[in-house]
Amino acid sequence: MNQAQATARKVMDNVEKVIVGKHEVIELAVICLLCQGHLLIEDVPGVGKTMLAKSIAKSIGCTFKRIQFTPDLLPSDVTGVSVFNQKTRQFEFRPGPVLSQIVLTDEINRATPKTQSALLEAMEERQVTVDGITYPTPRPFLVIATQNPIEYEGTFPLPEAQLDRFLMRIRLGHPAPADEITILEAQQYQHPIEKIDQVITAEEVLQAQEEVKKVYVDALVKEYIVELVNASRKHPDVYLGASPRGSLALFKTAQARALLDGRDYATPDDIKALAEPTLAHRLIISPAARIKNVDQRSIIEELLHSVPVPGARVRVRASPPEKAS
């Protein structure tokens, strides 16, 4: 347990040399790595989405490929293609960039739905099928996608099936003024990403991922997870609530957060801290609620206030028996 925590901390400390003042966001990204999930980074241009992905990749001794999603990108550009070899008179498979350990899909919503769907099998089943032959993805396998939420011209919104395959969605936000000054000074002569080195190996990542599975989650905490997810399905402003995959995401990330804190058990506080990044992107707001500017984040906050933590209900003390006269 201590070794897995140390492994995760090494990655976080290394990434913080590049991404300044975003400790919580970096922690969420590392939690996603420990849970064998995939990460969607959604924010405005220029806040460091791509740099965060590249910093994580550079900190780990893994193969790394970047795919720049554009409208003319084809599915075969992602998965790979079979090419006829004139010498051997046979078809040879040329693997695409998705068959790497860490894959950065930059501006994922700029590709057509047909190309976006090329990632579905790889993200969920960790394999790629080309010409009827299945090729497994390497381990560890992490897809980090970025998208701009405010620019809609020339973009294709991610379908629900694709969004649901991302373990978490995070936002970086603008840095604080003091942190922005630090960024200016750090990049005066050279970008910090050029200075960071690999701090852990792929084998250490795999070991840490196995340690996460051993973190204890009490039955009451599991009940709390299920009640939160069920409440999202019954909310009047939600057209489609979180799926069972959302319950699993909340369960696994709670284990990883506990490990990062040096605990061998998860608590309801872990669930509350991770509910928004793991569940919000899985909710589809009803058209009527969208007109009222109701967003996914506010619904998650409402659910956290309304759903009681099991086992934490107030007990009324029984009054002492009256004395006989």
Domain end among 210, 230, 254: 210
Residue 15 and residue 59 in one domain? yes
For 275, list phi and psi in degrees, rounded to 5: -60, -45
CA 11/CA 297 separation, integer angstroms: 28
CA 104/CA 57 separation, integer angstroms: 9
Residue 247: its pLDDT value, please?
Answer: 92
Domain end among 210, 240, 272: 210
CA 107/CA 123 separation, integer angstroms: 17
Domain end among 191, 210, 229: 210
Q: Taking Cα atoms as reference points, which of 70, 62, 123, 130 lies closest to residue 96?
A: 130
Strand, helix or coil at 91? strand
Residue 321: its pLDDT value, please?
Answer: 53
Mean pLDDT by 10 residues, the chain (325 residues): 83 88 88 90 81 87 87 88 83 87 88 87 88 87 86 76 88 85 84 86 89 90 91 86 89 92 89 90 85 85 87 50 50
For the segment 9-37, what is each residue's pLDDT rounded down to a tens digit? 998 998 888 888 888 889 999 999 999 98
In this structure, what CATH number is given to the domain that contains residue 239?
1.10.8.80
Kindly state the tokens that stand for 224.
């709390």
Q: Do the domain assignments include residue 312?
A: no
Residue 70 and residue 203 in one domain? yes
Strand, helix or coil at 141? coil
Residue 264: its pLDDT value, please?
Answer: 87
Residue 249 and residue 298 in one domain? yes
- For residue 71, whether the previous peptide bond is cis, meaning omega lies within 30 degrees of 0, is no
Residue 274 domain boundaries: 215-307
CA 191/CA 144 separation, integer angstroms: 21
Residue 153 and residue 301 in one domain? no
Residue 312: its pLDDT value, please?
Answer: 55
Residue 170 and residue 241 in one domain? no
Residue 257: its pLDDT value, please?
Answer: 92
Structure pTM? 0.86
Q: Do the domain assignments include residue 255?
A: yes
Residue 298: its pLDDT value, please?
Answer: 86
Residue 256: its pLDDT value, please?
Answer: 92
In this structure, what CATH number is given to the domain that contains residue 144?
3.40.50.300
Domains of the chain: total:
2
Q: Are the CB atoms for 17 and 175 separated by under 8 Å?
A: no
For the segment 203-235, what is each residue's pLDDT rounded down to a tens digit? 888 898 899 999 999 889 999 999 999 998 988
